[in-house]
């Protein structure tokens, strides 16, 4: 059996069905269908304006393309599985609909620049969707911070009690990290937002086309500068895969903490029933499955970066068929990461915080030891000497199974005669937190500033996404009207 092929002039025999099956990308690139139609609409309008094809043919092609776009929006577009990709599907259906004029659509372009353009348009939308999802989670973290500016819990290094912090600062730490992740997507958007259409197979075209016009019609910033680079490079896709992986790592870190915090050993938070599951045999269980699945899905997202780097590491210029395999890993990574961020926004926005258990936990682990050392420094003791004095004091407390707060003044003075009654004020946990009012610190006064900055970043990104989205949608509407 020989499969269908749109181009058969060079070959005496048709494509074998096994070859068609092996080379087909329809299951993946069907997601590019709408973008393919829009790219073709812009291309044919440019061909008409530049008088590359007759105006009547261009108008007929545009009418057919708009009809296909409507079918795609309505869900009535039927794929022909015997054709190798979505681009061929659209061209075949267009020609069947309007006749031989449909064959003129491909004038001045190649499948190479066509696919690169479609993929870039898809990735622009995917990048903005990712930013919106991340920002939903950031907004949820900000809301927890707003209502917990005075909630105190242990801060950890090496998963050991380090110093007391506020829950507001802890949530904002995740918010700022995720904010950088969102900004990376917006930065990548700017780099990918150049249009390859018109680069043709690799060397440009002999037709007198206007690539700037096509770029403008599709909402790109500029045309790509080099036709070989236009069809051969996928750094923009790899960059977005990395951005997704970096965000997934941030999400996984947050999930790990929430999983620990919801355990019986911590009891810092309780997750909402709607975002938890039970056990098949243990009725008492309430499992943090959303957070666990998000943590687990991180591996697949990271794998997409590896796939892209390995796929492209040895490719000579210009286009190679290997690049057909670029879409699945990047699309899957972006979809997975965006879904995870959206779900974690729901988880975070519905957690119940147990303030008493958080504060109770600060009684263990000598979490105010650094403040005792800082107290001695205010009495004129060099910090390194103060560090040693406090270390001896802690060793005494461990041996006698007591806390720093429970020592008497006489016991404190055995370690340093400079210690006075004011030491008890200095090492009170709430005071330890309130005194850390340096820029970026954990005091409520400092976290109020941090929250304002985080909210400002959120507004900036929301506006950036809105402007970018409206620009592209405005181009779509103009192409449909004209």
3-state secondary structure of 445: helix
Return the structure tokens found at 363. Answer: 């009684």
**Phi and psi, residue 213, nearest 5°:** -60, -45
β pairing state of 222-223 and 194-195 = parallel
Q: Rounded distance, CA 332 to CA 248, Å?
A: 13
User: Would you say 83 and 6 are in contact if contact means Cβ atoms under 8 Å apart?
Assistant: yes
Residues in a beta bridge with 287: 277
- Of 8, 263, 279, 406, catalytic: 279
379 phi/psi in degrees, rounded to 5: -90, 5
Q: Which residues pair with 194 in a beta bridge?
A: 222
279 has catalytic annotation = yes
What are the tokens at 174? 């995740």
Of the candidates 163, 134, 171, 32, the residue with the CA atom closest to the CA atom of residue 88: 32
* Coil, strand or helix at 273: helix
Establish whether 161 is a catalytic residue: no
Sign of the dihedral through C-alpha 261, 265, 271, 276:
positive
Q: What is the CA radius of gyration of the chain?
A: 30
> Taking Cα atoms as reference points, which of 116, 346, 108 lies closest to residue 237?
116
**Spatial separation of the C-alpha atoms in residues 475 and 481, rounded to whole Å:** 10
- Enumerate the active-site residues: 158, 279
């Amino acid at each position: 059996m020989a499969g269908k092929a749109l181009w058969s002039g060079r070959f005496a025999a048709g494509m074998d069905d096994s070859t068609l099956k092996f080379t087909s990308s329809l299951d993946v690139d069907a997601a590019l269908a709408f973008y393919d139609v829009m790219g073709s609409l812009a291309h044919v309008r440019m061909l008409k304006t530049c008088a590359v094809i007759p105006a009547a043919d261009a108008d007929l092609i545009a009418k057919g393309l708009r009809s296909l776009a409507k079918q795609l929006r309505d869900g009535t577009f039927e794929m022909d599985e015997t054709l190798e990709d979505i681009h061929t599907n659209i061209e075949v259906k267009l020609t069947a609909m309007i006749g031989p004029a449909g064959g003129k659509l491909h004038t001045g372009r190649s499948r190479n620049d066509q696919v690169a353009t479609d993929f870039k348009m898809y990735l622009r939308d995917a990048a903005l969707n990712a930013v919106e999802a991340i920002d939903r989670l950031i907004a949820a973290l900000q809301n927890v911070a707003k209502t917990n500016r005075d909630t105190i819990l242990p801060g950890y290094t090496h998963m050991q009690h380090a110093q007391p912090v506020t829950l507001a600062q802890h949530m904002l730490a995740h918010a700022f990290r995720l904010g950088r992740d969102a900004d990376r997507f917006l930065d990548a958007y700017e780099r990918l937002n150049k249009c390859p259409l018109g680069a043709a197979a690799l060397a440009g075209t002999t037709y007198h086309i206007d690539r700037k016009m096509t770029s403008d019609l599709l909402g790109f910033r500029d045309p790509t500068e080099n036709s070989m680079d236009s069809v051969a490079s996928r750094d923009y896709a790899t960059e977005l895969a990395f951005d997704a992986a970096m965000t997934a790592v941030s999400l996984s870190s947050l999930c790990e903490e929430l999983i620990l915090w919801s355990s019986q050993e911590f009891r810092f938070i309780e997750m909402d029933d709607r975002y938890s599951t039970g056990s098949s045999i243990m009725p008492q269980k309430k499992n943090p499955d959303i957070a666990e699945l998000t943590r687990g899905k991180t591996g697949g997202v990271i794998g997409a970066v590896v796939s892209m780097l390995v796929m492209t590491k040895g490719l000579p210029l210009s286009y190679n068929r290997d690049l057909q395999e670029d879409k699945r890993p990047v699309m899957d990574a972006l979809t997975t990461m965006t879904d995870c961020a959206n779900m974690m926004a729901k988880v975070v926005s519905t957690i119940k915080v147990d303030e008493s258990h958080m504060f109770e936990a600060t009684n263990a682990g000598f979490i105010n030891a650094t403040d005792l050392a800082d107290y001695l420094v205010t009495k004129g003791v060099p910090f390194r000497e103060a560090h040693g004095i406090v270390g001896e004091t802690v060793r005494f407390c461990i041996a006698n199974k007591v806390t720093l707060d429970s020592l008497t003044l006489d016991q404190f003075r055995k370690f340093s005669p400079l210690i006075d009654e004011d030491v008890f004020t200095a090492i009170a946990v709430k005071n330890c937190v309130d005194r850390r009012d340096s820029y970026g610190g954990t005091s409520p006064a400092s976290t109020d500033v941090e929250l304002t900055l985080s909210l400002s970043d959120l507004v900036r990104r929301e506006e950036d996404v809105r402007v970018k989205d409206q620009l592209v949608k405005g181009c779509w509407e103009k192409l449909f009207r004209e």
